Amino acid sequence: MASQLLTNSFLELLEKSELLPPAQFNAVVRKFKLQEMPSGFEAAKTLVLNGVLSRFQADRLMQGRYRGFFIGNFKVLEILGVGGMGWVYTAEDLQSGRIVALKVLSEHHQHIVDMQARMKLEVRAGQKLDHPNIVHAYKAEHTGDVDFLVTEYVEGINLQEWSDLAGPTPFPQACDFICQAAAGLQHAHSNGLVHRDIKPSNLIVDKSGAVKILDFGLALTRNDEDEFSLAMIFGHDCLGTDDFIPPEQARESYAVDSRADLYSLGCTLYFLLSGRVPFPLKTTPEKLRAHLSKTPQPIGELVPSLPEPVIAAVEKLMAKDPGERFQSAAEVKAALEPFAERKLIPFDFPAILVERCKDAQRRVSALKQRRRKIAEASSSSSMARRMMLDSSNQHLQAGVDTGVPGETRPRRSAVSLVNPLDSYTASKISSNDMKAKSRPQQGTQPFPTSKPQSTTSATFAPAYLTSQAGGRPIKLYQPYLVVGRDEGCDISIDGAGVSGRHCEFRCDGQQWTVTDLGSKNGIQINGQSVQSHAIQSGDELTFGKLQRFRFMTTAQQPQPARITWPAIVASLAVGAAAATAWWWFLAR
C-alpha cells in the first residue's frame, strides 16, 4: 500500500507540474500503466527511458517539487553546465518548439553591473554574427527577477573536455578544429568584433566534428560607447584567461585588435597537440609574465611527429609581437587546411552532462567551504564578515527552483538561490540505459540520483553496514545517503582507497540500491565490481578495494560480540604482524 501511495503521489505531482498537457498526461498514464507501478521511482524511470521526462525533471518530481520548471516562455529540460555568469540549461521554447540553451544569471550576478554588461554585449555580438562556426545568441530576456540569455543549443563537448577525455589530439584533427575556429573568427573580425577569450573551453564540437565558438561576453567592438562602458565597469585590468592570454592583452585589454585572438588560438592549438598549456605555472602573475617575456617549450619537442609547417604555424601564431603573427584568421585557415582532417567525435553526451554537474558540485562545495572559513576568520567584525561573505559567494550560481509556497500552478519565472545540484547530484549513467526502451537491469539508475527533499516522511527500510574489521555497525538512517571521505558526506569513511564522494545508498520502499559516484577505485558486491546495483541482506560490500562491510537489515542487526582475553590477545598479534609487514613494505 505504501508503494502504491508513493506512485499516486508522484503522478499527482506530475499532473500539477503541467509538464504534460492534461490529454497527454492521461494518455501517458494509460500507455505505460503508471498507476500499476510498484513505486514512484519506477514510474519516473519508465518516463525517462521513454523520453517523456528528462532526468532533471524526474529527479525534481521525485523530491516532491512540481514548480520551477518554467522560465518565461521556456520549459527547462536539463542542466547543461555552469559558467562564469550562472547556470546553463537546455530548454524548449514553448512558442516555437525549438530547443535552446538558457544562460541564467545567478541572483548575486543580477546585482553586478559587469555581469549584466557581459550579457548585453553577448547579445549585441550575437545579433551581428551569423556563421556556422559561431554559437548564435538570440536574445536577452528579463522575467520577474530573472535575467537570462537565449542562445543556440549545441549537443557537444568543449575542447577542454575533449582533451581531458582523449588526451593530446592528433595533428590532423587538431588542425581541423583550429581551421573551423579560424573561419568563425574571420567572420567576427570582419564584423568589428574581437573575442578576447579564445580557449579550449570556449570551442564546442559536436559528434560530426563541427566546431563552434562560444561566449562573446568579453568581445571588444568598434562601438566606442561599448568599449568605454566596459572599461568603466571592469577597469583597465587584463581581461581573458591567463593560460591563453596574448601579451598585449595582458598589458591593456582595450588596446588590442583581431591578432590578439590569433595568439589565443595558437595557445589553444599548442594545448590540443601537446595536452598541456604553454606555461604550466602555478599563479596567474607568473603566467602573465611568461606570456609577456618567455618562450614556451617548442611544440616540436613535445610532439616529435608534427610536420614542420604545423610547427611553424604554432610559433607564428604565438609570436609576442602582433606584427610577426598571421595578420588574419583567414591566413591561419589557409596555412593549416592542408593538414586538417575532419573526424567523427565519439562521446556519451548524457555522461558528459553528469560529469559537468559533478565538477560544478566540487566547485560549489569548495566555495562554500571557503565561505565558512572566511566567516570564522572574520567573526570579530559582523560588517567585515558580511562583506567577505558577499565576495566569496559571487560564483555560487542560481538554479530553477519552486515558486511561491501554496501555488497550484508553476511559477513561470521562478528562479531562486537554491543550487540545482541540491536536486541533481551527479552520478555515473549509461547512455545505453538512456536509449533502451526495455526495462534496465535491477538496481540501475536512469537519471542522476539526489537527496529527497524530506527524509523524515519517506518510506524506507533502515539497515546497517558492519565493518569486517570490527567496530560499531553504521546505521543507514535515511533513504538517501552519500558515503565518502569528504566532510559533507552523510557517512564518513576515511579509509585507504575511498574517494571524496565514493558512493550513495538509496532505498525505494524496502529495496536498497548502492551506486558508484565516479570513485577512483569503485565498489564491489560479493567480489563483483558494479556501477549501480540492488543489495540484499548479507551481501558483502567493498569500497575502494580495501574497506569491507556486510549489509544487514534491521531484523538481522548483529549483536556486539562478547570480548574475551584470548580474542584480545589474538587481535593484538594480528595487528602487530600487519604493522610490521606494512613498515617492511615502506622500507623497501
Q: Which residues contact 120 (CB under 8 A, 6 or more apart)?
A: 140
Q: Which residues contact 56 (CB under 8 A, 6 or more apart)?
A: 76, 77, 78, 79, 420, 424, 447
> 73 and 129: one domain?
yes
> 326 and 216: one domain?
yes
- If you average pLDDT over residues 83-91, what whole number do you get? 79
The letter for the amino acid at 451 is K
Rg, C-alpha atoms of the chain:
27
User: Could you tell me what percent of the chain has a pLDDT over 90?
Assistant: 36
pLDDT at 506: 87
User: Could you tell me what percent of the chain has a pLDDT over 70?
Assistant: 70
What's 56's DSSP letter?
H
- Answer yes or no: is pLDDT of 237 > 70: no
pLDDT at 190: 93
Which residue, 439, 576, 488, is CA-closest to 49? 439
Q: Give the span between the Cα atoms of 583 and 588, in whole angstroms.
A: 9
**Domain annotation covers residue 560:** no
> 89 and 14: one domain?
yes
> 207 and 64: one domain?
no
| φ, ψ dihedrals at 407, nearest 5° | -65, 145
Beta bridge partners of 465: 474, 551
Q: Point out the domain boundary residue: 106, 122, 152.
A: 152
Note the Cα 10 to chain centre separation in Å: 27
Query: DSSP labels for 156-190?
Result: EEEHHHHHHHH-SPPHHHHHHHHHHHHHHHHHHHH
Q: Kindly list the distances between the CA atom of residue 156 and the CA atoms of 81, 258, 350, 529, in Å, as whole numbers in the listed order.
A: 12, 26, 10, 30
- Answer yes or no: is pLDDT of 99 > 90: yes
> 116 and 162: one domain?
no
> 124 and 245: one domain?
no
**Domain annotation covers residue 438:** no
Mean pLDDT for all residues in the chain = 76
- Answer yes or no: is pLDDT of 283 > 80: yes
CB 512 within 8 A of CB 459: no
- Answer yes or no: is pLDDT of 329 > 70: yes
**Domain annotation covers residue 455:** no
- Answer yes or no: is pLDDT of 111 > 70: no
Q: Point out the domain boundary residue: 137, 152, 167.
A: 152
C-alpha cell at 500: 571524496
For the chain, what is the domain count? 3
pLDDT at 386: 47
Domain of 68 in residue numbering reads as: 7-152
Q: What phi-psi label fits residue 72: left (phi over 0), alpha (psi between -120 and 50 degrees) or beta?
A: left
Three-state SS for 80?
strand
**Domain annotation covers residue 229:** no
C-alpha cell at 335: 596555412
Q: Point out the domain boundary residue: 290, 321, 349.
A: 349
**Domain annotation covers residue 197:** yes
- Answer yes or no: is pLDDT of 531 > 90: no
Query: What does the pLDDT look like over 121-159, one tens digit per residue?
Result: 777 777 778 899 999 888 878 776 777 889 899 999 999
CA atoms within 13 A on the CB side of 310: 27
Query: DSSP labels for 103-135?
Result: EEEPTTGGG-HHHHHHHHHHHHHHHH---TTBP
> 339 and 320: one domain?
yes
Note the Cα 436 to chain centre separation in Å: 24
> 499 and 522: one domain?
yes
pLDDT at 563: 41
- Answer yes or no: is pLDDT of 371 > 80: no
Query: What does the pLDDT look like over 171-224, one tens digit per residue?
Result: 999 999 999 999 999 999 999 889 999 999 999 999 999 999 998 777 777 654
Most confident of 32-46, 361-375, 431-445, 456-470: 32-46
Q: Are strands 491-492 and 480-484 parallel, antiparallel or unpaired?
A: parallel
CB 48 within 8 A of CB 446: yes
C-alpha cell at 7: 506512485
CATH number for the domain spanning 78: value is: 3.30.200.20
pLDDT at 124: 74
Element containing residue 569 per DSSP (H, E): helix 565-587
CATH number for the domain spanning 501: value is: 2.60.200.20
Q: Give the span between the Cα atoms of 315 and 300, in whole angstroms.
A: 10
Q: Give the span between the Cα atoms of 221 and 229, in whole angstroms.
A: 11
CATH number for the domain spanning 167: value is: 1.10.510.10
CB 525 within 8 A of CB 543: no
> 87 and 163: one domain?
no
Q: Give the span between the Cα atoms of 323 and 319, in whole angstroms.
A: 8
> 162 and 130: one domain?
no
> 175 and 320: one domain?
yes
C-alpha cell at 24: 497527454
**Domain annotation covers residue 143:** yes
- Answer yes or no: is pLDDT of 115 > 90: no
pLDDT at 375: 67
pTM over 0.75: no
Query: What does the pLDDT look like over 355-368, one tens digit per residue?
Result: 777 777 777 677 67
Q: Which residues contact 86 (CB under 8 A, 6 or more apart)?
A: 103, 104, 105, 106, 109, 397, 398
**Domain annotation covers residue 411:** no
Query: What does the pLDDT look like over 482-526, one tens digit per residue?
Result: 888 876 678 888 777 788 888 888 887 778 899 888 888 889 999
**Domain annotation covers residue 532:** yes
- Answer yes or no: is pLDDT of 378 > 70: no
C-alpha cell at 263: 595568439
pLDDT at 463: 86
> 513 and 532: one domain?
yes
